[in-house]
Amino acid sequence: MIVALDHVVLTVRDIGATCEFYGRVLGMEVRSFAGGRIALHCGSQKINLHLAGAEFEPKAAKPAPGSADLCFLVDRPLDQVLARLGQARIAVLEGPVQRTGAQGPITSIYCRDPDGNLVELARPLPVQAP
């Protein structure tokens, strides 16, 4: 029945700081929509932003900044991603480490966004023939 994930919502303390991190540091596109709401775009996905305490209805039962664990696929070598995080003074928590993504093996690095959400930045590994 379900064929894809269209968007997710992040509840954040500071929309500007969130846009700075995901836009400038990670390269997502920040867009306004529907009366000034803000979303982050990457590929065909979208992350809507809700300001904590001023969420749009309907909303999650217990929206809270810092409660998400997100994994994004990157289009460049992880050494370049690490360099970009270093330039932005974003601490790397772990990685590069091998993990299993939705489509197969990935190599990941982990950091946190301004709200403390865990952000995994991953590059797919080539699938080995049997």
Q: What one-letter code names the amino acid at 63? A: P
- From the list 55, 57, 94, 120, the catalytic residue is 120
Cα distance between residue 26 and residue 33, in whole Å: 21
The rounded radius of gyration (Å) of the Cα atoms in the chain is 16
For the beta carbon of residue 111, count every other beta carbon within 10 angstroms: 22
Residue 120 is among the residues annotated as catalytic for this protein? yes
- Which of the residues are catalytic? 120
